[in-house]
Amino acid sequence: MQAFSTDVSRMIVARFGPDEDIFESLRLLCQKMDVESGCISTMIGSLQCATLVCVTEDFPGGQARYLDPVQMAGPLEFIGAQGIIGRNEDGEIDIHLHGAVAGEDMHAVAGHFAPSGNNRVLATVEVVISVFSDVQMLRSYDEETGFNLFKVTEKKRE
């Protein structure tokens, strides 16, 4: 386990408009607002399309792996999403986002949003981000799981 205490230095509230990709918009927002690490507290709205993946157990080894991405065509109700914002090993903004959508049949589908470029806003998406003041989130390959995972560390004081 890795655990550290942090304060939230500020909250960011934003709205994304029609045809924006949620990952591209989140990255641009984080660059504009100088977000190094934080959490996406909530995202709600509507989507034209979404790409989701889900984890499963890979037999016989028992390791986890992702199923193939599922492309969903809209209109979709974006029921909600939460996630982590950090950096990858190249220093670029990296986003880990889970959530749920529902189509016109009103059946919800949940999973890990894949940054495919196919998670586009239909009418609006509202987002609230909490920015961490005392911790850093760095995403890198994890030997034990075989996934790229966020590692949490205390932010170096200047």
Task: Determine the Cα–Cα distance for residues 94 and 102; give it in Å rounded to an integer.
Answer: 25
Phi and psi, residue 141, nearest 5°? -65, 135
* CA distance readout (Å), 65 to 8, 45, 102, 135: 33, 29, 24, 28
- Rounded mean pLDDT, 17-32: 98
Residue spans per domain, the chain: 12-154
Which stretch of 31-40, 110-119, 142-151 has the lowest confidence by average pLDDT?
A: 142-151
pTM above 0.85, yes or no: yes
Alpha helices (runs of H) in 49-97, residue ranges in sequence order: none
Residue range 109-134: average pLDDT? Answer: 95
Taking residues 127-150, what's their average pLDDT? 88
Which pLDDT score, from 0 to 100, does residue 68 have? 79
Stretch 7-11: mean pLDDT, rounded?
Answer: 92
pLDDT surpassing 70 at residue 59: no
Domain at 12-154, CATH from 3.30.1330.80, 3.50.50.60, 3.40.1230.10, 3.40.50.11610:
3.30.1330.80
User: What band does 60 get if pLDDT is binned at 50, 70 and 90?
Assistant: low
